[in-house]
Amino acid sequence: MSTIEATSRAGDALTPGELLEMLYYMRLQRAIEDRAIKLYYQGRIPGAYFTGWGHEAIAVGATYALGPADLLAPMHRDLAAYLMRGIPARRVFAQFLDREGGLTRGRDGNIHMGDPRLGILPFISHMAASVPVAAGMALACRQRGQARVVLTFFGDGATSTGAWHEGVNFAAVLRLPVVLVLENNQYAYSTPLDRQTAARALVDKAPGYGIPGVAVDGNDVLAVYAAARAAVARARDGGGPTLIECRTMRMRGHSEADHFAYVPRELLAAWAARDPIALFERRLREEGQLTAEADRAMQGRIAQEVEEALAWAEASPEPAPASVAEGVYAASDGR
Ligand SMILES: Cc1ncc(C[n+]2csc(CCOP(=O)(O)OP(=O)(O)O)c2C)c(N)n1
Ligand SMILES: [Mg+2]
């Protein structure tokens, strides 16, 4: 199987409305995270807070390639993916604030969220654990005769764990309908890429499992989308998994508690000049898709949505102490 270097510009199949929708979700992720960072430093978000700052093109480009019945296993950098698959911003803020209105009803800190009814596996903290689970989900769909694809995200560090290798191998051997989206942000917490793998390029791991791999610019939403669209189609047609390495940079700390002084500032500056939202905005403006009027309207809509969502979350009560065990343990009769 060949490893392809993709620098795709395949926005052709997307309508102007779809292109603006992609930009909207990238901006919405950024706006929610920007607001949440402020809440965090005000001491209003308990525990840790993680963002996907700089990863927006990956979350949006990959998720946009899914069909309505497909399944998703996101991670802590993919807020837009949750929003795109139907989780409202108000419930995300309630999750961050540990309120009853959050996805875990205040039982868990911010990032461990999902909604099985929407086909979103709650984020599993253990690096790469979503890969074998995604393979299992895909196998279950196949056994039920459902033509559903499972897309999962993971980091560069995750590709050095046993769970990742076993999960990819299992999915490859059974040619399961899985799309493997690698968010290579060049750091696993404080460990740079060259300190955690001797691989020249992470995409090179794909041929070792007999699956195709494609490397894309993770800051180019349309390149991510094109690669994901091809991988989803391939998975649905029985072609098995594809590894998509999206190359990007983590633009903030691992979490907001991390000063990330270990990341060279020149590296951050170089990637800041390629911010995925700014790149896409520029392109849409140049092509006449994003007029000044549409831009203003979208910005206004997002600002309003964020404030309304936060107000709703703040009005949501903290969970009642007596309800602490609800939804935490399965009922002994299997319900
Ligand atoms: C199996 C396992 N080992 C260690 C950790 C602690 N840990 C949490 S995130 C992280 C780094 C993750 O790096 P990467 O996979 O590159 O994802 P990123 O956070 O950079 O998006 C580590 C080591 C963990 N969650 N799970
Ligand atoms: Mg990483």
Is 296 a member of any domain? no
Q: Give the Å distance between the CA of 189 and the centre of ligand 2.
A: 7
Check residue 9 and give its pLDDT: 43
Quote the ligand 1 centre to 333 CA distance (angstroms).
Answer: 35
CATH number for the domain harbouring residue 177 = 3.40.50.970
Q: Whose CA is nearest to atom 11 of ligand 1?
A: 188
- What CA–CA distance (Å, rounded) separates 202 from 145? 33
Tokens of 43: 């001491």
Q: What pTM was computed for the model?
A: 0.95
Q: Is the CB of 58 under 6 A from ligand 1?
A: no
pLDDT value at residue 331:
75
**What pLDDT, on a 0 to 100 scale, did the predictor assign at position 335?**
55
Interatomic CA distance for residues 267 and 40, integer angstroms: 26
Is 126 annotated in the active site?
Answer: no
H or E segment to which residue 178 belongs: strand 178-184
Question: Considering every ligand atom, which ligand is closest to the CA of 127?
Answer: 1
In this predicted structure, what is the pLDDT of residue 330?
A: 77
Whether residue 214 is contained in a domain is answered as yes
Residue 83 domain flag: no
How many whole angstroms from 191 Cα to the centroid of ligand 1?
10
Under a CB-based contact definition with an 8 Å cutoff, are residues 168 and 244 in contact? no
- Nearest alpha carbon to residue 78 among 90, 64, 67, 94: 64
Give the DSSP H or E segment for 72.
strand 71-73
- Residue 153 placed within a domain: yes
Residue pair 92/32 in contact (Cβ under 8 Å)? The answer is yes
Domain contains 102: no
Other CB atoms within 10 Å distance of the CB of residue 69: 11
For the CA of 55, the nearest atom of ligand 1: 21
153 with 78: CB under 8 angstroms?
yes
Residue-range definition of the domain harbouring residue 182: 3-20+43-77+107-254
**Which pLDDT value is given to residue 173?**
98
250 noted as active-site residue: yes
Cβ–ligand 1 distance for 98 under 6 Å, the answer: no
Please report, in angstroms and rounded to a whole number, the separation of the first and last CA atoms in the chain: 45
Nearest listed ligand to the Cα of residue 124: 1
Tell me how far apart the alpha carbons of residues 84 and 118 are, in angstroms, rounded to a whole number: 11
Rounded CA gap, 107 and 221, in Å? 34
* CA of 111, nearest ligand number: 1
Distance in Å, CA 59 to ligand 2 centroid? 14
Among the listed residues 224, 211, 122, the one whose alpha carbon sits nearest the alpha carbon of residue 182 = 224
Q: Annotated catalytic residue: which of 91, 234, 247, 250?
A: 250
The Cα 273–Cα 219 span in angstroms is 11
In sequence order, the β-bridge partners of residue 243 are 180, 213
Among residues 112, 175, 236, 254, the one annotated as catalytic is: 254
Domain count, the chain: 1
Q: To test the ligand 1 pocket, which listed residue (78, 127, 130) has its Cβ within 8 A of the most ligand atoms?
A: 127
Q: State the pLDDT at residue 156.
A: 98
CA 265 from chain centre, in angstroms, equals 25
- Closest listed ligand to the CA of 154: 1
List average pLDDT for each run of 10 residues in the chain, which is 335 residues long. Answer: 39 87 98 98 95 98 98 97 98 96 89 94 95 98 97 98 98 98 98 96 98 98 98 98 98 97 98 98 97 98 98 97 85 66
Q: Is residue 194 part of a domain?
A: yes
254 classed as catalytic: yes
- The distance between the two most distant Cα atoms of the chain, rounded to a whole number of Å, is 60
Q: Quick check: helix, strand or coil at residue 243? A: strand
Locate 59 and state its tokens. Answer: 């979350």
Query: Is residue 238 one of the residues assigned to a domain?
Result: yes
Residue 48 lies in a domain: yes
pLDDT at 13: 83
Phi-psi region of 278 (alpha: psi -120 to 50; beta: other; left: phi over 0): alpha
**Residue 181, φ and ψ in degrees, nearest 5:** -105, 110
Which residues have their alpha-adjacent CB atom under 5 A from ion ligand 2?
A: 155-156, 185, 188
Measured in Å, residue 59 CA sits from the centre of ligand 1 at 18
Grouping H, G, I as helix, E, B as strand and the rest as coil, residue 282 is helix
Q: What is the pLDDT of residue 6?
A: 40
Give the pLDDT score at 10: 47
Nearest-atom number in ligand 1 for the CA of 188 is 13
Q: Which of 9, 262, 282, 301 is catalytic?
A: 262
Give me the helix-helix angle, 16-41 and 276-286, nearest 10°.
150
With beta carbons less than 8 A apart as the criterion, state whether 74 and 123 touch. yes
Token pair in block for residue 271: 């990637």
Cα separation, 71 vs 92, whole angstroms = 19
Cα(127) to centroid(ligand 1), Å: 5
